[in-house]
Structure 1
Amino acid sequence: MADNSIGTPEQLRDPDYTPPLAKAVPLGIQHVLAMFVSNVTPAIIVAGAAGFGFGSNSPDFPELLYLIQMSMLFAGIATLLQTVGAGPVGARLPIVQGTSFAFLPIMIPLVAGRGVDALAALFGGVIVGGLFHALIGTFIGRIRFALPPLVTGLVVTMIGLALVRVGIQYAAGGVPAIGTPEYGSLLNWSAALVVIGVTLALKFFTRGMLSVSAVLTGLIAGYLYALAVGILTTDAIAGSWNNAAAFALPQPFRYGIEFTIAAILGFCLMAFVSAIETVGDVSGIAKSGAGREATDREITGATYADGIGTAVAGLFGGFPNTSFSQNVGLIAMTGVMSRHVVTIGALFLIVCGLVPKVGGVIRTVPIEVLGGGVIVMFGMVVAAGISMLSDVNWNRRNMVIFAVSLSIGLGLQLEPDAVAHLPDSARVLMVSGLLPAAFLAIVLNLVLPKDLPAETTDEVAGGMSGRETWGKQPGGLPTGTPRH
């Protein structure tokens, strides 16, 4: 519930209102706490997939710190594009931007086991995909018909399903530890379970700041537990802190630039999904914070900011940015619609992004502890997708679309060798699972007729199983019964 001392109800619903600084600063930092873990986690996952060494003495250590640093810096810059705006760019609403999980199923196959050398092609895809994302802003309103809840819910669910394996691997000891005696040990799992337990306890049994920052607090608890049981040592913390600079500026084209078909197609196709998510977030903020519908200018401006923020980040080694849904919920909870509050949070993120020592501390979080947080976050992605699917009219047509798309997409994730004979670019796109599933769902939804014979459009209701319905003719007669 909103604190009336912050302002009048009319002021709190106004995006241009600035609360007193003593209130605005904590509210801005609260927004950062709500998204901080989710924002830096993709950088750590991509680095792990590429085969980076995580130790402070590893030659890859500076690169890992840099990726974390860029995640914070460009989340802040992209957020400023949304809150402050520049011409047609930006919704000028309290929208928090951050590194998108949605692109991980594309990024992981692109870098898998290839080290730093793989990053040139990845960031080439980020730049082109960001520019394409901005272009979507010019026609976003006209393509929404092709992306109903059946399609968007499937895609979001697939994103979560593609990533849950990562959470389990991290909780068991991390990808580098697979096959070693300590992988999957009770000690490793205990750290992850501490994070999960504390997160759930705070989320459901506390209110206010503790509830909003439950994942972050759970990670801190897991961090302290890892330190107590010896998973993490003070020497490792000191080494990371000492080996990180106090201040550093981003470097353009630090990893070079390379344009590959697989990366460009993957990022451009995922831009559609990210754009639709942003439309939903903008609509949610306008409805919950201001009690009105989002305007076309706000939706277009938000999509422009998404794409331009992503393209600029790619130039310096940052990952794709998108609006963060958890902050939409935070606005609904606080009742404070001020975009200037979020601007304060954006400035805090930028400061953190310019101080590599912050990244050094984040890097010391043990992979098992991070696994606990990732299990919760990725599970929530799946749950969000299922929630979107609850709006679908589950007739036989939609069931078939969902079934075929999910089976092929998830199947290719589980058995990537099934497309081993495809060219490398096509294979990378196919084994993500996400893009084949999304493509099939969109095409089938557009091509298959809406009006089908009665036996294929009966609602799934009244306890009738699929086999009973499929085995009946129009009018409810069993298959093979003569019709008169």
Structure 2
Amino acid sequence: MTDTALGTPEQLRDPDYMPPLAKAVPLGIQHVLAMFVSNITPAIIVAGAAGFGFGSNSPDFPEMIYMIQMSMVFAGVATLLQTIGIGPVGARLPIVQGTSFAFLPVMIPIVAGQGVSAMAGLMGGILVGGIFQGFLGTIINKVRFALPPLVTGLIVLMIGLSLVKVGIQYAAGGVPAIGTPEYGSLQNWFVAGVVIVVTLALKFFARGMLSVAAVLIGLIAGYIVAIPFGMVSFGNIGTAAVFALPDPLHFGLEFHAAAIIGMCFMGVVSAIETVGDVSAIAKGGAGREATERELAGATYADGFGSAIAGLFGALPNTSFSQNVGLVAMTGVMSRHVVTIGGLFLIVAGLFPKVGAAIATVPIEVLGGGVIVMFGMVVAAGISILSDVDWNRRNMVIFAIALSLGLGLQLEPGALQHLPGTVKVLMTSGLLPAAVIAIVLNLILPQELAPEATEEVSGGLAGHGRD
């Protein structure tokens, strides 16, 4: 329900309308709170996968602080590209950009266990992949036919399934703790459980901002519980700099085939996600269809924003769907409100003490939060798949793509004889599943015997659509 003091119904549907500043600033900060945890989590996960960042005694701990800092800065920069725009770049709609979970299944194998030295290759892939995605804006309206709900739903589902293991590992004590007596302790699971319970309670029984920021508040609750257990160390906050600008080529740049191919492919996925978000925000906020210029501009900003991030040691960005829902909830379509949120992100990211404070969050607390978030990714994929006509053809495509993709991810040793680059791409699981689904969807005939649906499913789909 909208506040009449914000403006008339016609004004609230206008992206160019600026509400009174006293109302616009809280609305902008609300957008930041809705995406804040999701935005910084990928940086922590990538740092952990690379093998640096956890524990204040780690010599590479400041690098994780820097990545958290850049996650905020370049989410803000990419958001401004969308809301303000430069030439054809930017949809000029209230679109919030943030660090993308979707790229994690590809980024984790690229950096796994290799430390800070692996980041240069990742950044090279992000740069090239971002540029590639940016140029997809010129053809994005022509390639959407190749990615129906069967394909996009499978991709989103695979992203979530590839990440749920990370959530469990973090809640149990983190990857470095695997095999130790502390791993999976009752204390660890209690702290993670507090996050999950508080998040669910607020999401389902609270209203307004308490519901919107449920994950953030759940993490704060878990953090408070973790303090008396001695799981929180504040030492690095005092030693962190007060103010620091982004450092160009902080990790350097290297160009490796696996990183480039993986990032380019995920750029296609991110572009399609952004097109969906732009369409939803135009329909839900303004009651109209998105224009081709808006769709192309959003894709340009999505890709080029990621490329710029890679130059400064940050991770790729994409549009955040939770903020699309927030626009529909508040009824405020103003892009200037989101611009305020983007500026807030940039300012917060310029103060390393903010990143150092975030880095004190115990991995078990973060685990409770990401169990919820990654589970929601899986649920989002299932929701998309609910629009699929589950005939024999589509069931076979889904079955083969999921079986091979998930199977290779669960048993990477099955590909031990492949060259390094191909092995990294195949064992991500996501890439083979997506490629198989896209190719089969394009080449298999649409008409297949409908009675075979029961034959394949054992009768479970007997009452489904043909």
Q: Tell whether the structures are fold-level matches, with TM greater than 0.5.
A: yes
Q: CA offset at residue 453 of structure 1?
A: 3.5
Query: Does residue 1:466 correspond to 2:457, yes or no?
Result: yes
Instruction: Report if the CA contact (8 A) 1:56-1:243 is conserved.
Output: no
Q: What residue number does 1:444 align with? A: 440
After TM superposition, the structure 1 = structure 2 runs for residues 193-232 of structure 1, keeping only pairs within 5 Å, are 193-232=193-232
Separation in 2, partners of 1:246, 1:10: 44
Instruction: Report if the CA contact (8 A) 1:125-1:267 is conserved.
Output: yes
Q: What residue number does 2:305 align with? A: 309
Query: Does residue 1:374 correspond to 2:370, yes or no?
Result: yes
After TM superposition, the structure 1 = structure 2 runs for residues 53-452 of structure 1, keeping only pairs within 5 Å, are 53-232=53-232, 236-237=233-234, 239-452=235-448
Q: Secondary structure at the match of 1:105?
A: helix
Number of equivalent positions: 462
1:131 is aligned with what amino acid? Answer: I
1:381 is aligned with what amino acid? Answer: V
Q: CA offset at residue 252 of structure 1?
A: 1.1
CA deviation profile, 1:330-355 (whole Å, cap 9, x unmatched): 00100000000000000000001111
Q: CA offset at residue 469 of structure 1?
A: 9.9
Q: CA offset at residue 86 of structure 1?
A: 0.4
Q: Secondary structure at the match of 2:98?
A: strand
Instruction: Report if the CA contact (8 A) 1:13-1:335 is conserved.
Output: yes
Q: CA offset at residue 452 of structure 1?
A: 2.2
CA deviation profile, 1:68-88 (whole Å, cap 9, x unmatched): 111000000000000000000
- Flag the 1:188–1:397 CA change in 2: closer, same or farther, 3 A: same
- Flag the 1:29–1:444 CA change in 2: closer, same or farther, 3 A: same
Q: CA offset at residue 468 of structure 1?
A: 5.6
Separation in 2, partners of 1:290, 1:278: 17
Q: Secondary structure at the match of 1:303?
A: helix
- Flag the 1:454–1:44 CA change in 2: closer, same or farther, 3 A: closer
Separation in 1, partners of 2:336, 2:459: 58
Q: CA offset at residue 454 of structure 1?
A: 4.5
1:319 is aligned with what amino acid? Answer: L
1:184 is aligned with what amino acid? Answer: G
Q: CA offset at residue 253 of structure 1?
A: 1.0
Asked which structure has the greater CA Rg, the reply is 1
Q: What residue number does 1:7 align with? A: 7
- Bigger CA drift: 3-12 or 402-411? 3-12
Separation in 1, partners of 2:120, 2:347: 26
CA deviation profile, 1:435-460 (whole Å, cap 9, x unmatched): 0000000000001111224544x5x6
Q: Secondary structure at the match of 1:101?
A: coil
Q: CA offset at residue 328 of structure 1?
A: 0.4
CA deviation profile, 1:235-260 (whole Å, cap 9, x unmatched): x21x1211211111111111111101
Q: CA offset at residue 56 of structure 1?
A: 2.5
- Flag the 1:5–1:468 CA change in 2: closer, same or farther, 3 A: closer
Where in structure 2 are there 5+ consecutive unaligned residues?
Answer: 462-466
Q: CA offset at residue 465 of structure 1?
A: 7.4
Q: What residue number does 1:26 align with? A: 26
Q: Secondary structure at the match of 1:317?
A: coil
2:160 is aligned with what amino acid? Answer: G
CA deviation profile, 1:26-50 (whole Å, cap 9, x unmatched): 0000000000000000000000000
Separation in 1, partners of 2:298, 2:363: 34
What's the TM-score once normalised by structure 1's chain length? Answer: 0.94
Percent identical residues: 75
Separation in 2, partners of 1:292, 1:80: 23
Separation in 1, partners of 2:450, 2:157: 29
CA deviation profile, 1:114-170 (whole Å, cap 9, x unmatched): 000000100000000000000110000100110000000000000000000000000
Q: Secondary structure at the match of 1:314?
A: helix
The list of structure 1 runs, each at least 4 consecutive aligned residues, that deviate by more than 3 angstroms after superposition, is 453-456, 467-470
Instruction: Report if the CA contact (8 A) 2:348-2:354 is conserved.
Output: yes
Separation in 1, partners of 2:448, 2:199: 47
Q: CA offset at residue 366 of structure 1?
A: 0.2
Q: Secondary structure at the match of 2:421?
A: helix
Separation in 2, partners of 1:277, 1:342: 19
Q: What residue number does 2:464 align with? A: none
CA RMSD of aligned residues (A): 1.4
